[in-house]
Amino acid sequence: FNNVNFATTISQLGRIRNVNRMDQLFISFLDDLANQLEERGMEAMGVRQIANIVHAIGKMHLKNACTRRIIMYVARPDNANWVVTTAVKEDNPQAVANIAWAFAKLGIKSTGFFSELEMNHSEWLLAK
């Protein structure tokens, strides 16, 4: 799998209401996804793919160890800063909205993500 395949697969799974969250293949897929993200980093994955992955996790309300690793990796201040800055550079407010929605849905309080938005990009958000 490459990065786009990972993001597309989990995004498509998010559209299916009856995903067996306990299925060992599904859990292995999520573990592979977390490993790839941590090994390759945010830049290799791309902001759109990151947003799609995080959104799908929120939509499916997944709260297992693998998805927690993914969400907490994205929520880290340095990574949250990169996501917001890159989304602004690419003029991609949908990526920001998808991640913010998923964090809220999952109860994640990413001060790095929201502080970066508020402190450095509030004018961009208001223009969108």
DSSP class per residue in 77-94: HHHHHHHHHHHHHTT-HH
Q: What is the pTM of this model?
A: 0.82
Sign of CA pseudo-dihedral 106, 75, 51, 22: negative
Q: Which long-range contacts (CB under 8 A, 24 or more apart) does 41-44 make?
A: 42/74, 42/79, 42/82, 42/83, 43/82, 44/3
Condensed to tens digits (0 to 9), the pLDDT of residues 64-98 reads 999 999 999 999 989 988 998 899 889 898 999 99
pLDDT one-digit tens code per residue, 20-66: 777 888 888 899 999 999 999 999 989 999 999 999 999 989 999 99
| Encoded tokens for 107 | 């109860």
